[in-house]
Amino acid sequence: SELGGSGGGHDKACGAVIPKDKMKKFLQEMDSRLSNS
């Protein structure tokens, strides 16, 4: 919700709805979090 969207999921899947103008920031954040896990 930091980027004005929403998300959900379960142990085998996930989903997100984010504003189009926040897509680049969303992808950068996901890449960063996945790289650091």
Read off the pLDDT of residues 22-31 as tens digits, 9 standing for 90 and up.
999 999 998 9
Rg (C-alpha) for the chain, rounded Å, is 11
Q: Where are the alpha helices (DSSP H) in 1-37?
A: 23-35
Q: Report the distance separating Cα 21 and Cα 7, nearest Å.
A: 17
Mean pLDDT by 10 residues, the chain (37 residues): 88 93 94 89
What pLDDT, on a 0 to 100 scale, did the predictor assign at position 37?
A: 72
**pLDDT at position 18, please?**
94
pLDDT confidence of residue 1:
65
Instruction: Give the DSSP letter of residue 4.
Output: S
pTM (whole model) above 0.85: no
